[in-house]
Amino acid sequence: MSRETQNLILAFLGIAVLKTTLDGTFVRYVKPGLGPYLIVSAVIVLALAAIAIVSDIRAGGTHEHDDGHAHSHRMPWLLLAPALVVLFLTPPALGPGSFVQRQAEPPSSAAGGRAFPPLPAEGTPELTMIDVLQRARSDTAGTLDDREIAVRGYAMPRADGGVDLARILIICCAADARTTRLHLVGPNTQPMRGANADQWWIVRGVVVPGTATEDDRWTPDFRVTAVEPTAAPSNTYSY
């Protein structure tokens, strides 16, 4: 690989990371908290590229040496492809239709569980998917018992003809993505069946006590009282 190619790859890599961080699309690949680290990394990479380019110019250009062996020039340019894709095409976040097979399990609490904070006394509070799963598995205070809540996600058909409410969970980045879901039950799920696969929903209902068990990966049944189509959130992941 020539020095010019090395410098070009460094520069494009730094530009791609900086661009996706500043325009916010980096949350399609990693957690929001990593944004400052990405900016620092991009600046360092761009600085290294600039230093290398300036050094080559001051040295009168790079010098190629013939060592008597033939070298392929295709691989260096292939290394540049991922940076160019992120820079110009911006792949979408994982979501409906991504077919993430791994299902997340909510972490268990020590000593069989813990008391979670109480929910607001009035209205129908909207909880995150992971909060519902954690409470259903480990909450000793029973904060979900007989309480209507709202959860946001997209519909995922089940093999038995039913439908789940799902959302993608990432631990660090999109490479470790897992599916979180609630088993929706009741006739009020009918509008979600056969709807556009990209449609997002706000689902209101009550978690059925005792249905989050190890046999079904701690996924509780959620008895639906109402469903409402909604726009996809700007950040489609759970954390």
Cα–Cα distance measured from residue 183 to residue 177, given in angstroms and rounded to the nearest whole number: 20
Residues 126 and 77 in one domain: no
97 lies in a domain?
A: no
And the tokens for 111? 């000593």
Question: Do 39 and 150 fall within a single domain?
Answer: no
Alpha-carbon distances of 130 from 71, 92, 95, 196, rounded to whole Å: 51, 22, 16, 24
Compute CA 71 distance to the chain's CA centroid, rounded to the nearest angstrom.
40
| Max avg pLDDT among 60-69, 71-80, 135-144 | 135-144
Within a domain: 38: yes
User: Domain limits at 17?
Assistant: 3-88
pLDDT tens string 19-51: 889 988 888 888 888 899 999 999 999 999 888
d(C-alpha 49, C-alpha 190), whole Å: 56
Residue 101 lies in a domain: no
Instruction: Let me know whether 122 and 165 are in one domain.
Output: yes
**How sure is the predictor about 195, in pLDDT bands with cuts at 50, 70 and 90?**
confident
Asked if residue 120 lies in contact with residue 147, where contact means CB atoms within 8 angstroms, the answer is no
The whole-model pTM stands at: 0.73
Do 125 and 225 reside in the same domain of the chain? yes
> Is residue 98 included in any domain, yes or no?
no
| Residue 190 forms part of a structural domain | yes
Residues 18, 57 within the same domain: yes
Task: Tell me how many domains the chain contains.
Answer: 2
> Does residue 102 form part of some domain?
no
Residues 75 and 122 in one domain: no
Element (H, E) at 101: none
Q: How far is CA 229 from CA 129, 141, 197, in A?
A: 17, 32, 12
Last residue in a domain, options 41, 58, 88: 88
Query: Which of 82-86, 99-103, 158-162 is predicted with the least confidence, judged by mean pLDDT?
Result: 99-103
pLDDT value, residue 23: 87
Contact 53, 61 (CB under 8 A): no
DSSP 141: S
115-171 residue pLDDT tens: 899 999 889 999 999 999 999 988 989 999 999 999 999 998 888 888 999 998 888
- Residue 95 domain-assigned (yes or no): no
Query: Domain containing 206 — which CATH number?
Result: 2.40.50.140
Instruction: Using a pLDDT cut of 90, give the percent of the chain over it.
Output: 37
Distances in Å between the alpha carbon of 139 and those of 15, 106, 166, 194, 227?
46, 12, 21, 34, 26
Identify whether 104 is part of a domain: no
Q: Is 110 helix (H, G, I), strand (E, B) or coil?
A: helix
CA gap 205, 213 in Å, rounded: 19
